[in-house]
C-alpha cells in the first residue's frame, strides 16, 4: 500500500521532470508553442485593436495589451527554458559540448555586436541561448519536430479563417500588394506582410512530414500549400517547391535501392548547396538597383554600411537606429532581404562565419539521419537555404527566430525515435562496402 509520503514524493518527482523521456520532450514542444505564440498573438491583438497599418510604415500601433502579452510569453519561454536546462544539467553532463558552443556562437556574436554599438540587450538575448541549452541537454525526439508542423498548419488555417471573417485585416490590397495579383488580395494573416506569412509557412512545411498519420500529413500539407499560394510570396513558393522536389527525389532514390555512398551524399546535399550558393552569389553579383524587385538597391546600400564595420557589424538594432536608412533603402525595412547581407550588416564577418559553421554541422547531422530514412532535417535545410536567397526576416534576434535558431538546434541535437521513420521514405541501410 502506497503511503502518503510516497505519493507526495512521486508527485514532486513527476512535477520536477524526474521521469525522463516524454516529459522533457513535452517541455521542449511547449517551448516551440510558446515561441510560436509570441510571434503570432501580439500582432493579432494589434490587428484587432488598430486595424492593419499602412504599407511600408514603422509606426508603432501595438496596444498595451499586446505588449504585455508579448512580454509575458517571452518570460514564459525564458522560465521554461531555464527549468529544462537546469533539469538536463542536473541529470548528467551532456556530451559534445563543442557542438553546443557552435550553436550558441551566432547568438553570442550578435549580442557582442550590440554591446559594441551601445545597444542594450533585451530578454530575448537570454531566451534564445537558454532554449538552445535546453534542447541540447534534453535531446528531444521527432514529436517536437511534428509540433513545428502543427503550428505551421494552424497558422495557415487561422490566417485563411481570418481572411474569410475579416478580409480587411488579413488581406493586402492596393499598394501593399505591389505588382502581385491574387483575387481579393494577398493573404498576410496576422503578420505585417504576406511575404512574412509565406516565410513562416515555408519553414514550417518540412516538419509536416514528421506527423505520424497519413491523414494528418496530407491535411496539413494541403492547407499550407493553399495558404502559401494565396500569399503570393514567390520566394516562399520556390522554397516549398524545392522541399517537395527534394522529398520526391529522396523517396525515389530509397525505393530504387541507391546506397548512401559519396554520390548519394552529393545527391541529397545538392538542393541545400544550390540554395546557399544563390544566397551568397546573388547580392554580390547584382549591380542593377532595380534588380530582384528593388532588392539590388537594398543590398548595395547595406553592403556599403557593412564595409564601415566589417568585422562585427552594426548590431541587431541597426535598422531601427540608423538615421536616413529608410530613405536610402527605399522603404522602412527591418532586415536585409538576403541572409548573407543581413548577417554582415548586423554582426559582420564574425557572425557570418559562425552561421556557416552551424549550418555545416547541421548538414552533417542531416545527412547522417537521412541515411536511415529520416529526411525532415534535410528538408528543413532545403527550405532554410531557399528562403534565405531573397529574404532574411526569419533570422532576427527576437523570438520570431524560433523558425531559424530553434529548428537548427533541433536538427543538430535532436534524437529521432528509434522505432519510427519519417513517413514516405523507406529506411536506407548503409552499404557495407
Residues 399, 124 contacting (CB under 8 angstroms): yes
Q: How much is the pLDDT for 3?
A: 58
Question: What digits encode the pLDDT tens for the residues 31-70?
Answer: 999 999 999 999 999 999 988 887 666 667 789 999 999 9
Q: How much is the pLDDT for 243?
A: 98
Residues 400, 39 contacting (CB under 8 angstroms): yes
Lowest mean pLDDT among 154-158, 193-197, 324-328: 324-328
Give the distance from CA 322 to its chain's centroid: 26
pTM of the model: 0.90
Q: Check whether 431 has a pLDDT greater than 70.
A: no
| C-alpha to C-alpha distance for 294 and 301, rounded to whole angstroms | 12
Which range scores top for mean pLDDT: 240-244, 255-259, 415-419? 240-244
Q: How much is the pLDDT for 11?
A: 44
| C-alpha to C-alpha distance for 325 and 246, rounded to whole angstroms | 39
| C-alpha to C-alpha distance for 200 and 391, rounded to whole angstroms | 11
Q: Find where cell 541537454 sits.
A: 137
Q: Within 10 A of 285 (CB to CB), how many other CB atoms are there?
A: 8
Q: How confident is the model at residue 139 (pLDDT cuts 50, 70, 90)?
A: confident
| C-alpha to C-alpha distance for 172 and 184, rounded to whole angstroms | 9
Q: How much is the pLDDT for 298?
A: 96
> Whose CA is closest to 415, among 12, 13, 28?
28
Q: Check whether 230 has a pLDDT greater than 80.
A: yes
Q: How much is the pLDDT for 362?
A: 96
Q: How much is the pLDDT for 125?
A: 80
Question: What digits encode the pLDDT tens for the residues 290-312?
Answer: 999 999 999 999 999 999 999 99
| C-alpha to C-alpha distance for 375 and 209, rounded to whole angstroms | 8
> Whose CA is closest to 401, among 122, 58, 212?
122
Question: What digits encode the pLDDT tens for the residues 82-94?
Answer: 999 999 888 776 6
Q: Which residue has the higher pLDDT, 84 or 18?
A: 84
List Cβ<8 Å contacts ≥24 apart for 213-216.
214/423
| C-alpha to C-alpha distance for 13 and 176, rounded to whole angstroms | 54
Give the distance from CA 5 to its chain's centroid: 45
Q: Check whether 162 has a pLDDT greater than 60.
A: yes
| C-alpha to C-alpha distance for 182 and 189, rounded to whole angstroms | 15
> Whose CA is closest to 349, among 309, 294, 301?
309
Q: How much is the pLDDT for 315?
A: 92
Amino acid at each position: 500500500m502506497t503511503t502518503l509520503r510516497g505519493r507526495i514524493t512521486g508527485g514532486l518527482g513527476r512535477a520536477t521532470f524526474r521521469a525522463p523521456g516524454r516529459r522533457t520532450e513535452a517541455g521542449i514542444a511547449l517551448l516551440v508553442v510558446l515561441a510560436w505564440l509570441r510571434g503570432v498573438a501580439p500582432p493579432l491583438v494589434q490587428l484587432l485593436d488598430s486595424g492593419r497599418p499602412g504599407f511600408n510604415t514603422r509606426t508603432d500601433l501595438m496596444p498595451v495589451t499586446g505588449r504585455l502579452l508579448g512580454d509575458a510569453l517571452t518570460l514564459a519561454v525564458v522560465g521554461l527554458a531555464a527549468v529544462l536546462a537546469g533539469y538536463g544539467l542536473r541529470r548528467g553532463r551532456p556530451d559534445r559540448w563543442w557542438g553546443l558552443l557552435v550553436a550558441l556562437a551566432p547568438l553570442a556574436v550578435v549580442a557582442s555586436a550590440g554591446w559594441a554599438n551601445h545597444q542594450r540587450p533585451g530578454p530575448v538575448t537570454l531566451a534564445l541561448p537558454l532554449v538552445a541549452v535546453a534542447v541540447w541537454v534534453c535531446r528531444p525526439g521527432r514529436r517536437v519536430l511534428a509540433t513545428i508542423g502543427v503550428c505551421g498548419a494552424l497558422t495557415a488555417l487561422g490566417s485563411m479563417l481570418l481572411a474569410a471573417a475579416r478580409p480587411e485585416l488579413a488581406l493586402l490590397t492596393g499598394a501593399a500588394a505591389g505588382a502581385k495579383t491574387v483575387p481579393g488580395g494577398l493573404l498576410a494573416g496576422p503578420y505585417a506582410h504576406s511575404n512574412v506569412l509565406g516565410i513562416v509557412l515555408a519553414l514550417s512545411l518540412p516538419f509536416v512530414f514528421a506527423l505520424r498519420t497519413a491523414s494528418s500529413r496530407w491535411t496539413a500539407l494541403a492547407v499550407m500549400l493553399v495558404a502559401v499560394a494565396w500569399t503570393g510570396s514567390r520566394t516562399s513558393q520556390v522554397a516549398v517547391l524545392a522541399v517537395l522536389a527534394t522529398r520526391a527525389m529522396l523517396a525515389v532514390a530509397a525505393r530504387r535501392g541507391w546506397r548512401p555512398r559519396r554520390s548519394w551524399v552529393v545527391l541529397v546535399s545538392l538542393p541545400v548547396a544550390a540554395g546557399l550558393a544563390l544566397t551568397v552569389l546573388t547580392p554580390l553579383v547584382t549591380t542593377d538597383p532595380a534588380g530582384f524587385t528593388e532588392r539590388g538597391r537594398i543590398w548595395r546600400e547595406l553592403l556599403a554600411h557593412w564595409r564601415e564595420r566589417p568585422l562585427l557589424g552594426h548590431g541587431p538594432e541597426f535598422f531601427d537606429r540608423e538615421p536616413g536608412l529608410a530613405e536610402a533603402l527605399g522603404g522602412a525595412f527591418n532586415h536585409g532581404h538576403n541572409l548573407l547581407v543581413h548577417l554582415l550588416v548586423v554582426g559582420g564577418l564574425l557572425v557570418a562565419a559562425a552561421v556557416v559553421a552551424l549550418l555545416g554541422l547541421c548538414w552533417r547531422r542531416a545527412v547522417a539521419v537521412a541515411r536511415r530514412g529520416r529526411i525532415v532535417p534535410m528538408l528543413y535545410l532545403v527550405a532554410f537555404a531557399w528562403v534565405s536567397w531573397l529574404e532574411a526576416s526569419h533570422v532576427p534576434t527576437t523570438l520570431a527566430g524560433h523558425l531559424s535558431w530553434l529548428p537548427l538546434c533541433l536538427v543538430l541535437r535532436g534524437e529521432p525515435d528509434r522505432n519510427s521513420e519519417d513517413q514516405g521514405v523507406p529506411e536506407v541501410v548503409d552499404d557495407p562496402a
